[in-house]
């Protein structure tokens, strides 16, 4: 066997092995990742979330590597759908998720059911709060008035005040000359 012949046989063998290896490798599947409302990442085939498809749970490790595992049996809520998964990780059913009523509507319904005694108690509390605020305003006005009166009381007087001894009518009568004489004449 000469060199050319050897190389041609080698090339033909190589191409046959390469063809077999390529034929044995499965075609790469396209996957679709979705996240549940709980934050769990699920992976399924390109077909999507349909019955009979395999569902995998993806978890990320600290090094950035991802690990895949069959989805545990249970229900998962994704994009308004509830996905039921069997024990083998295969999707058994896909149904529409129920839309919850907004919390505001629930609160309004609860408020409509408030008993009358609670409404009466609420109105009494509001009246007390109003009276309390009025009392606080009155107290502040009284404090301001007290401060003004104090200020006026401490101011110096414009004129000097003279105090005189008060004389009663009886004393005035006794002070006249005639009254004195009468008084002395009665003494005998």
pLDDT single digits (tens) 69-104: 888 888 888 877 888 888 888 888 888 877 665 566
**Both tokens of residue 96?**
């529409």
Q: How many CB atoms lie within 10 A of CB 78?
A: 18
Average pLDDT over residues 183-187: 78
pLDDT single digits (tens) 46-56: 777 788 888 88
pLDDT single digits (tens) 20-72: 655 554 555 677 888 888 888 888 877 777 888 888 888 877 666 777 888 88
Q: What is the DSSP letter of 49?
A: S
pLDDT for residue 125: 92
Distances in Å between the Cα of 82 and the Cα atoms of 24, 33, 36, 47, 85 are 37, 16, 10, 17, 10
> pTM of whole model > 0.75?
no
DSSP 131-171: HHHHHHHHHHHHHHHHHHHHHHHTSPPSSPPPP-----HHH
Average pLDDT over residues 118-123: 87
Predicted confidence (pLDDT) at residue 131 exceeds the cutoff of 70: yes
Confidence bin at 3 (pLDDT 50/70/90): confident
């Amino acid at each position: 066997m000469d060199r050319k012949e050897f190389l041609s046989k080698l090339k033909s063998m190589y191409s046959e092995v390469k063809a077999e290896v390529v034929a044995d490798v499965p075609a790469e599947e396209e996957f679709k990742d979705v996240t549940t409302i709980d934050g769990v990442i699920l992976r399924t085939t390109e077909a999507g979330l349909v019955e009979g498809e395999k569902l995998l749970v993806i978890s990320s490790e600290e090094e950035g590597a991802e690990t895949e595992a069959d989805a545990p049996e249970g229900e998962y809520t994704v994009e308004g759908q509830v996905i039921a998964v069997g024990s083998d990780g295969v999707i058994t059913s896909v149904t529409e998720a129920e839309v919850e009523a907004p919390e505001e509507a629930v609160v309004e319904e609860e408020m409509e059911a408030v008993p009358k005694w609670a409404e009466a108690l609420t109105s009494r509390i509001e009246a007390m709060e109003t009276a309390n605020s009025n009392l606080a305003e009155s107290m502040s006005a009284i404090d301001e008035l007290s401060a003004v009166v104090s200020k006026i009381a401490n101011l110096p007087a414009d004129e000097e005040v003279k105090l005189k001894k008060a004389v009663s009518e009886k004393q005035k009568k006794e002070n006249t000359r005639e009254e004195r004489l009468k008084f002395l004449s009665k003494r005998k």
